[in-house]
Structures are given as structure tokens and as C-alpha cells.
Amino acid sequence: MWSFSNIADSIQNWLNQTFSATWSLVMQMLIAGIAVISLFAILGLVLVLMERKVSAWMQIRLGPNRVGPKGILQTLADTLKLLVKEGLTPAGADKILFNLAPVLALVIGMLLMAPIAFAKDFQLWNLNIGVLYISAVSSVMVISILMAGWASNNKYSLMGAMRSGAQIVSYELSAGLSILTIVVLCGSLNIPDIIYSQADGWWIFKGHIPAIISFVIFIIAVTAETNRAPFDLAEAESELTAGFHTEYSGMKFALFFLAEYVNVFIVCAIGATLFLGGWMPFHIGQWESFNRVMDYIPSSIWFFGKTFFLIFLIMWFRWTFPRLRIDQLLNLEWKYLLPISMINLLLVTVIAILGWHF
């Protein structure tokens, strides 16, 4: 199976031979930071273009087709526009919090990238509680949204932020319980352990019906957590002009915009890791010949293929379902998803104890 481990080892060996231990560590962190920032920029360009093309395909139209071949440079043009656009701060705003909120949103996204395994032996930080770390850090995202809404000194921004706070805190429960089902089946919080436990089959297949239920609930919950339609009440254009980022413009708006798409990538990467095997190829039990053929496909292609499949699924939701009202959204979580998740977790625990999974 191909991996990036040789490249990473070569860079680490060269740094250790060239610099002292301290400077080698600093250089490794610097390279990792630059790599994550570069990935953010690429994801922003690719996912915005993908969103427009998917929506155009859903609505039987062309989408961007003027800037560059088939419109592929449209997002680059939009990025340049946002870079040169003046960033305004309202007179009555809390300037420190107003400017800090978009930076905090992006920093949280960078922190969440650390434990994700992008390919075999290619992970920024392998810690033994990776899943718990992701759940804990992702819950801080709501603070940046509340901060932006309150600091803007705008009633629409504050209303959007309060909606988002209620929405994210509510749906985190179902998302966390869905993640716990895989942790119970695997018996580990370590992301590489979860991936290697799927060497003979992905958990969405091995975990029977409870794993499928968890997967469906997870996708619904993370769609709500990332403020994506039909759960985009925090920035409902028809009601709140633009919700919590109504007063943002220029680069600060671009940071919020980028953070939204990066968060979509992160939650889909987590879903692909937990339920679809991450970078692990599609293996079927003892079918050695079939499994060897699957191993020829690079692990990074498996990971990004599964992740972008889930991203497409979330984009499909946006252009298929109408926006929910806030009472419908909270009823869906507290009256349906949360009870189902708790019963499902109990059922998965029984399956894991009795060893009924494949």
C-alpha cells in the first residue's frame, strides 16, 4: 500500500541532520503549519467551485463558465475581490471581539486538522484520544459565532448567533453519541486504531443496522453543526440578511466563509474515518485477491474520495430540502434524533459485548 511516510521520514531525517534538535522541531512545526494553511486555501477554492457546480447540476444549468476554462478560475477571482475589498467595522461594535471572531473560527479549524489521518502513516499529531480531542475542540466553534454576533452590535447578527448557539449545542449531543457507537465497537479513541480495525471491512458494514443508523444521524447532526442548509438558520438570508456575519466584509468575511467550508471538509473527513475506513481500502473479509487489487489504489485517494463523497452528500441536502424553522429544527433533535441515538448506543453496546459484529 502506497503512503507518504517515506517523504515525511526523508524531511524529518534531513532536518535532524541539518539543525539542532530544538530547531529541527521548530522547523517541523513550521512546515506543518504552512502545509495546513496551504490546504485551507486549496480547500476554499475547490469546495466553493464544487458547491456552485453541484448546485448548477441539481438545477440543470451551467454554473460559473466565464472566468477561466469552464469557470474554474471564478473562485480565484472572488478571492482576489475579497482580498482588496475594504474591511469595515461598525461604529458601535466591540472592535477587539469583532476582529478576533473570524480568526478564532479559522484557528479552531486548524486545530481540528491535527489528528486527522490523510493517508497511511501521514498524520500531523497521533494522540491516543484523537476522537475525544476532535469532539472537545469542535465544540469551541460556537464561541466564535456568538462572539461575532454579539460584537457586531446588530440585532440580526445577535439573533443569528443565538440561533446558532442553540443549534450547535443541541446537535453536538447526537453527533457525539454517533461517534461513541464506533468507539464502542472499536474499543479505542485513537484514530489509527479505528482505521486499522476496519482492515477487514468498514464499520458501516460490519456494525450492522446500528452503525447505519449512527451514520445517518451523524450526517444530519454535522450538517446542522456546520450551519448548512436546510439547517442554515444562523445565516438565513430571507430573515436575517446574513445572520451572524451581516456586518463583516472584506478579509474578515472571507475568513468566516473559508472556515465554513473547512469545517465541512473536517466533519466529512471524520465521518469517512469512523464509518468508511478513512484511508483504508475497501476490503472484504478473506478475499485476498480482491483486497490486493484494492491495495494498489493509493491510500490518500481512498481518503479524499470518501471525504468528497460525503461533502457531495451534504451539498445535495442544501439543494434538495427547504429550510426548517427553528422550532422544527430543535424538535428534530430533542424529540427524535437524541432518543434514537441513545437507544442505538445501548444496542451497539450489547452487540459489542456479545461480539455480534463481523
Q: 119 has which bridge partners?
A: 122
Mean pLDDT for all residues in the chain: 87
Residue 358 — pLDDT band, cuts 50, 70, 90?
low
129, pLDDT greater than 70:
yes
pLDDT value of position 236: 66
Interhelix angle 21-58/250-275, nearest 10 degrees? 90
Residues 77-101 have pLDDT tens digits of 988 888 888 878 888 888 899 999 9
Q: For the chain, what are the domain ranges?
A: 85-354
111 vs 108: CA distance, rounded Å: 5
263 vs 134: CA distance, rounded Å: 12
pLDDT value of position 343: 95
Residue 245 — pLDDT band, cuts 50, 70, 90?
confident
Cell of 159: 439573533
- 333/19: higher pLDDT: 333
The residue with cell 439543494 is: 319
pLDDT value of position 1: 46
Per residue, the 3-state secondary structure of the chain, as one string, reads: CCCCHHHHHHHHHHHHHHCCHHHHHHHHHHHHHHHHHHHHHHHHHHHHHHHHHHHHHHCCCCCCCCCCHHHCCHHHHHHHHHHHCCCCCCCCCCHHHHHHHHHHHHHHHHHHHCCCEEECCEECCCCCCHHHHHHHHHCCHHHHHHHHHHHCCCHHHHHHHHHHHHHHHHHHHHHHHHHHHHHHHHCCCCHHHHHHCCCCCCHHHHCHHHHHHHHHHHHHHHHHHCCCCCCCHHHCHHHHCCHHHCCCCHHHHHHHHHHHHHHHHHHHHHHHHHHCCCCCCCCCCCCHHHHHHHHCCCHHHHHHHHHHHHHHHHHHHHCCCCCCCHHHHHHHHHHHHHHHHHHHHHHHHHHHHHCCCC
Residue 12 — pLDDT band, cuts 50, 70, 90?
confident
Contact 191, 275 (CB under 8 A): no
238, pLDDT greater than 90:
no
Q: Tell me the pTM.
A: 0.91
Which of 56-70, 124-138, 235-249, 262-276 has the lowest average pLDDT?
235-249
Which of 1-5, 81-85, 108-112, 198-202 has the lowest average pLDDT?
1-5
28, pLDDT greater than 70:
yes
- 3/327: higher pLDDT: 327
51 vs 63: CA distance, rounded Å: 10
Residue 295 — pLDDT band, cuts 50, 70, 90?
confident
Residues 159-195 have pLDDT tens digits of 888 888 888 889 999 999 999 999 999 989 999 999 9
pLDDT value of position 332: 92
Contacts of 324 (CB under 8 A, 6+ apart): 230, 231, 233, 332
pLDDT value of position 331: 92
Mean pLDDT for 291-296 is: 86
Residues 319-354 have pLDDT tens digits of 888 888 888 889 999 999 999 999 999 999 998 888
Sign of CA dihedral 148, 153, 159, 160: negative
Q: Pick from 136, 41, 102: which is nearest to 244 by CA? A: 102
Percent of the chain topping pLDDT 70? 96
